[in-house]
Amino acid sequence: MRTKHVLYWTSTGILCGIFLYSAFMYFTKTEIIKGFFESFNYPTYIVIPLAVLKIIGVAIVLWRPSKWLTEWTYAGFFFNLVLATAAHHYAGHGIMGFSFYGLIAIFPSYFLGKYLRD
């Protein structure tokens, strides 16, 4: 059981760290990030709201105020990571970036979190 707790907190820490780093970059390097969004053919007006939602999502994953909200937060994180990985791949940046590592970390975080709390 101890191993599962360590794996859960490690994967959750990595996942939350990736999202917090991403949000930090969105706030501090907004013009560069907007340039990336333009190259991906994504609208640039979602950069700041997406950063705010990432921070709120991290708080929900760590705090877990309700099962319903946590489920939707993980779903949002999953779709964000899939779309980011695909966008980087199709833009020629390669697949091995933070979004790909986030995809690897989200599964143990989600499933072990459900197992340990239910």
Q: Domain total for the chain?
A: 1
Percent of the chain with pLDDT over 90: 82
pLDDT digits (tens, 9 = 90+) for 69-114: 999 999 999 999 999 999 888 888 878 789 999 999 999 999 999 9
Q: What is the DSSP string of 5-59?
A: HHHHHHHHHHHHHHHHHHHHHHHHSHHHHHHHHHHTT--GGGHHHHHHHHHHHHH
Signed CA dihedral, 64, 65, 66, 69: sign only: negative
Task: Identify residue 9 by its one-letter amino acid code.
Answer: W
State what percent of residues in the chain have pLDDT above 70: 100
Q: Which domain holds residue 84?
A: 2-117
Kindly state the helix (H) or strand (E) to which residue 104 belongs, with its residue range: helix 98-117
Give this prediction's pTM.
0.92
